[in-house]
Chains A and B, each alone.
Chain A
């Protein structure tokens, strides 16, 4: 009678199911309660960056690549703000729910699987980062930094970038033992990436080796796609950049699944 049961491999593909929906709605409901404060933060932070940097630096640098500095900065700011918001949600907030509040634990006592929770957290972090990215896009429009119709094409790119950075964040979440760990991610990964990805300045004058690294960063791909659209042009190398972002999103999400399953099996 005692049967040997071989547990499913932690490397299996994600469970395809709509069971994640109530978990996603749970996060949305919490956000709605705190929406005002949250949105204010979403707008205030990039607004300050854009205005302070854009106008401040704009005094020194009249034009970058033929446009006023604030216009150059706007596309980068959209991407950076999306990446930051996704990372915060997938690191600090998801970690609170996973480890501190044990929300995941009670969810897993219901008829749901860990995969459902991870899918929900991934889509939720991407959603929240999209709120941020779209908020800064509205600021750009409201300030008149750009009013190009191509701005609309930025919205799906924000979503894609949000999915990418949320998935990367969830990998680090799965490895974290405490909040301190996330400081490393921000100072050693995300901050250097913003400087290498052309958020603040053009990176076409980097030495070759640095340019090679920069070319493979997901934030670079996002900036290369978004900046021309803010300037009213279509980006030049659309497919390679899109492929890079999709590739990062898929690989990071699968890695996050594997790492989180491993964490919960032990």
Chain B
């Protein structure tokens, strides 16, 4: 856990801070949705805000865009104080909201054209950019299609293209692949990587570990409005959790878990139902015990971001 936003040597990421969030606090009806959050995002990096439902990710996003005002704390986005100068900041920013919120009365092309007008862009400039945006979104053949004719993945890609209509420096995405099938999800990831390769900065919220691990150079884990850890995905795994995991399930898994701990074959064991998660520096002894245990099914693997996430935020359900 660290409050000082140190960037490990990520290639393509400069020292130029494009977003600085400092001590943000926002309460709704006496409950602090965001409680003292601080971090920095540097030009060209992909920064992820990870957290369970209700952790304060979306509120943090709204605060960064100046859509709600904080009780205290400050946001500086692309050199502009937010929310005071939010309009100037948003001019250079693109947003992909969680609900696509495309205009159902318009075609694909009209959605881009109308959105370009909100930025005060000259029509000729939008028309010129439209082709490459539709190409990028894989919608070049769908320019005149109505929104209800598009699949979920197409809609999300169009929302992404719409967020790029002003050629933004920073792109904010709120859970960009929630509700998409694996094919559509991979396509979005591919497009986001392309944008990073072009030097765009990306800030995204997600609760998909896979997404965070694949895309983000740096992550902040939020829980109950607080930032509880911040590092690269690999850094978080190395720092926060034992390197190996044995997942074992059997009716008598409690007894197995006690035995594992007695023998110090694992540092910690978490039990969920009839499955035990044994976190080990070296899993060999725990595996041997599981192998010899009657009726035991087990799986040995490396620790991943999800383990870190569950360790830090707990296993109870968030609705």
Q: Please give the residue numbers on chain A whose beta carbons come within 8 Å of chain B beta carbons, in ascending order.
A: 1-5, 7, 22-23, 25-26, 29-30, 33-34, 101-103, 105-113, 265-266
Distance from A238 Cβ to chain B, minimum over Cβ atoms (Å) = 40
B72, A29: Cβ atoms closer than 8 Å: no
- Residues from chain B with a CB closer than 8 A to the CB of A109 are 65, 67, 90, 95, 97, 163
Q: Which of B84, B91, B103, B106 contacts A5 (CB 8 A)?
A: B84
Q: Which of B28, B87, B102 contacts A111 (CB 8 A)?
A: B87
Q: Which of B69, B87, B166 contacts A7 (CB 8 A)?
A: B69
For residue B296, CB closer than 8 A to chain A, the reply is no
B118, A105: Cβ atoms closer than 8 Å: no
For residue B293, CB closer than 8 A to chain A, the reply is no
For residue B225, CB closer than 8 A to chain A, the reply is no
Q: Which residues from 190 to 218 on chain B have a C-beta closer than 8 Å to any C-beta of chain A?
A: none
Task: List 20 additional A-B contacts (Cβ < 8 Å) besides A26-B114, A33-B105, A111-B91.
Answer: A2-B72, A3-B72, A3-B74, A5-B70, A7-B69, A22-B120, A23-B118, A25-B114, A25-B117, A30-B103, A30-B105, A101-B101, A108-B67, A109-B65, A109-B97, A110-B90, A110-B119, A111-B120, A112-B87, A266-B28
- Residues from chain B with a CB closer than 8 A to the CB of A101 are 101, 103-104
Q: List 17 A-B contacts (CB under 8 A).
A: A3-B73, A3-B74, A4-B72, A5-B69, A23-B118, A25-B114, A26-B103, A103-B103, A105-B97, A106-B102, A109-B97, A110-B90, A110-B115, A110-B166, A111-B91, A111-B118, A111-B120
Q: Please give the residue numbers on chain B whose beta carbons come within 8 Å of chain A beta carbons, in ascending order.
A: 22-23, 28, 65, 67-70, 72-74, 83-84, 87-88, 90-91, 95, 97, 99, 101-106, 110, 114-115, 117-120, 162-163, 166
- Residues from chain B with a CB closer than 8 A to the CB of A2 are 22-23, 72-74
- Residues from chain B with a CB closer than 8 A to the CB of A23 are 118
Q: Top 10 A-B pairs ranked by shortest CB distance?
A: A7-B69, A110-B118, A2-B23, A109-B95, A22-B117, A102-B101, A106-B101, A30-B105, A111-B90, A111-B87
- Residues from chain A with a CB closer than 8 A to the CB of B163 are 109
Contact A5 to B117, CB < 8 A, known contacts A30-B106, A101-B103, A106-B101: no
- Residues from chain B with a CB closer than 8 A to the CB of A25 are 114, 117
- Residues from chain A with a CB closer than 8 A to the CB of B88 are 111
Distance from B16 Cβ to chain A, minimum over Cβ atoms (Å) = 19
- Residues from chain A with a CB closer than 8 A to the CB of B118 are 22-23, 107, 110-112
Report Cα–Cα, A7/B72, bound state, in Å.
10
Whose C-beta in chain B lies nearest to the C-beta of A110?
Answer: B118
Whose C-beta in chain B lies nearest to the C-beta of A108?
Answer: B67
Q: Which of B28, B70, B72, B99 contacts A102 (CB 8 A)?
A: B99
Report Cα–Cα, A30/B110, bound state, in Å.
10
Report Cα–Cα, A101/B148, bound state, in Å.
12
Report Cα–Cα, A30/B87, bound state, in Å.
26
- Residues from chain A with a CB closer than 8 A to the CB of B110 are 29
B119, A111: Cβ atoms closer than 8 Å: yes
Distance from B144 Cβ to chain A, minimum over Cβ atoms (Å) = 13
Whose C-beta in chain B lies nearest to the C-beta of A7?
Answer: B69
Report Cα–Cα, A106/B115, bound state, in Å.
9
A5, B115: Cβ atoms closer than 8 Å: no
Whose C-beta in chain A lies nearest to the C-beta of B96?
Answer: A109
Distance from B33 Cβ to chain A, minimum over Cβ atoms (Å) = 11
Report Cα–Cα, A250/B179, bound state, in Å.
44
Report Cα–Cα, A92/B162, bound state, in Å.
26
